[in-house]
Amino acid sequence: MSLASVLIPKKLYKKLEMDARKRGISVDELVVEALDPKTLNPNEKTDYYLKLHEKYLREADELLAKEDYVQASKKLWGASAEIVKAVAASRDIDIKSHGELHGFITKLREETQDPEIRTLWLVATTLHQNFYEAWLPSAMVREAAEDVKKFSEKVKGLLPQGQLQK
């Protein structure tokens, strides 16, 4: 999947950011959600979430290198949420809220009988809170980044094999 850019006035982008923030999603997700869901098949949605997941992991690594632990926390949380949405999309399930994310994680944990999925997910949710409150020490954010990568690999392993080869 190739990526494209859209140019819009800064004032309008700020409104998109505010709307996305209220909904707990990225501007990218807001734009994709604006599409008629009937026009996207599960593979397209899965690919989209995988690309966003990979982008957020890269950005988190860059922010960690710059010692920007608050913004890194945001990207690590985003990467975690997007990989979960990718697996859900591969099963033709749309996740629209934090509650649905947590519910789907519960389902994956039960399905895999892997308690570490829940534990690692809770690390990611702590990073989400850290983005808003900035209370985690830098060493904990760095360790949590490794946990998020481990979580990502575990959850990514639940995608259909053909999905990972794209």
Tens digit of pLDDT for each residue in 40-71?
788 988 998 999 999 999 999 999 999 999 99
Residue 26 confidence (pLDDT): 79
Residue 20 confidence (pLDDT): 82
**3-state class of 72 per DSSP?**
helix
Whether the CB-CB separation of 130 and 136 falls below 8 Å is answered with: yes
Residue 31: pLDDT band with limits 50, 70, 90: confident
Spatial distance between the Cα atoms of 81 and 131, rounded to a whole number of angstroms: 14
Record the pTM: 0.81
Residue 162 confidence (pLDDT): 63
Residue 163 confidence (pLDDT): 62
Check whether 3 has a pLDDT greater than 90: no
Residue 36 confidence (pLDDT): 58
In the chain, what are the domain boundaries?
A: 8-35, 40-164
CATH class assigned to 40-164: mainly alpha
pLDDT tens, position by position, 80-113: 999 999 999 999 998 988 999 999 999 999 999 9
Residue 5: pLDDT band with limits 50, 70, 90: confident
Spatial distance between the Cα atoms of 104 and 111, rounded to a whole number of angstroms: 10
Spatial distance between the Cα atoms of 61 and 65, rounded to a whole number of angstroms: 6
